[in-house]
Amino acid sequence: MIPAVLIVLLACLAALQVAGLQLRLQDASTNAARALSRGDPESAVAVQLDRAVAGARLTVVHRGDVVCAESAAEPPAGIASLSGITVRASGCARSGGL
């Protein structure tokens, strides 16, 4: 009985870790899109994204007058890192916007 409870508890902790990463990555992607729309250089935006979420990768996509920041990251060392999950998020903003 106890091993089953421990497995469920570890799964819940891993889910919380991934959910927290998803929220941070989404927020960082939205901020990156805003910065890109203002004309900030991609390299500077990538550094800001990495500061917000360590190890996050940035992909910039232009769609007409909209710029999108697509990012991806793996959970840091811990329970969730064993799952092999890659968390992805994106944010878009109109080019030249504030």
pLDDT (tens, 9 = 90+) of the chain, 98 residues, equals 888 889 889 888 888 888 999 999 999 999 999 999 999 999 999 999 999 999 999 999 999 999 999 999 988 776 666 667 899 999 999 987 55
Say what the pLDDT of residue 90 is: 96
Tell me how crowded residue 2 is: count the other CB atoms within 10 A of its CB: 6
Say what the pLDDT of residue 77 is: 73
Say what the pLDDT of residue 97 is: 53
Burial 13-43 (b: 16+ CB within 10 A, else e): ebeebbeebbebbbebbbbbbbbbbeeeeee
Q: Domain locations in the chain? A: 2-94
The Cα 86–Cα 41 span in angstroms is 26
Say what the pLDDT of residue 33 is: 96
